[in-house]
């Protein structure tokens, strides 16, 4: 049946929409859908050319119905492909902002398991998107576009180090953040490390 693989893409996007991580790119289904669309377009051209030389009005009407079915199948597959792509790009941009702001993030800064699930075109999108945000941000001096929109209740937070960060410069001097150590530091100094997963905020 036409557009079956395209429908699988939409179902895959819906099924994984609540997942904390982005699902692997369905390159196999994408290729199948694109191949089917090329075949439909070729058949549609053949039908339209046959319709022009139809021997009877009834024959022409039958060819018109066939052309309509092919055209609607093409449109449906295209809409499914666009919906799948849009869903993934939305999830990717959300992840970039969650990692501390798209201006500070890049494809290299993304977790390795997420990078493995991206297609080459999506990796290119990440690099282009972060470059665009950085270029936009450069006109606003030192505004942190990745900061939380809700003001913090406390200036200082207690954090536990999950991954060794080495020595970090803070407003009160250098602090060595070694694995499993616990510190009471200014939120502004450690927020990028919390969003990147190096530190955990202890409530």
pLDDT tens across 128-171, in order? 888 888 787 777 656 666 666 666 677 788 888 888 877 888 87
Note whether 56 and 97 are within 8 A (CB): no
Least confident of 2-11, 104-113, 116-125: 104-113
Domain 156-202 classification at class level: alpha beta
Q: Specify the pTM.
A: 0.70
The CATH number for 4-138, chosen from 3.30.70.2740, 1.20.58.1030, 2.30.33.40, 1.10.3720.10, is: 1.20.58.1030
pLDDT tens across 9-58, in order? 999 888 888 887 788 899 999 999 999 999 999 999 999 888 887 778 88
Same CATH topology for 4-138 and 156-202? no
Domain ranges of the chain: 4-138, 156-202
């Amino acid at each position: 049946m036409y557009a079956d693989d395209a429908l699988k893409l939409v179902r895959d996007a819906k099924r994984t929409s609540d997942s904390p991580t982005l699902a692997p790119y369905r390159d196999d289904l994408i290729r199948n859908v694109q191949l089917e669309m090329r075949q439909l377009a070729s058949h549609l051209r053949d039908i339209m050319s046959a319709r022009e030389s139809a021997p009877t009005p009834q024959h022409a009407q039958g060819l018109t119905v066939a052309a309509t079915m092919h055209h609607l199948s093409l449109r449906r597959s295209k809409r499914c492909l666009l919906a799948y792509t849009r869903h993934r790009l939305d999830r990717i941009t959300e992840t970039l902002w969650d990692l501390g702001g798209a201006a500070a993030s890049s494809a290299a800064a993304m977790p390795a398991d997420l990078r493995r699930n991206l297609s080459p075109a999506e990796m290119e999108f990440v690099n282009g998107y972060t470059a665009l945000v950085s270029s936009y941000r450069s006109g606003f001096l030192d505004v942190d576009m990745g900061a939380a929109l809700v003001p913090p209740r406390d200036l200082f937070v207690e954090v536990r180090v999950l991954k060794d960060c080495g020595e970090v410069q803070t407003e009160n001097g250098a602090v060595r953040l070694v694995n499993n150590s616990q510190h009471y530091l200014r939120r502004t100094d450690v927020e990028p490390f919390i969003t990147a997963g190096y530190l955990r905020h202890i409530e």
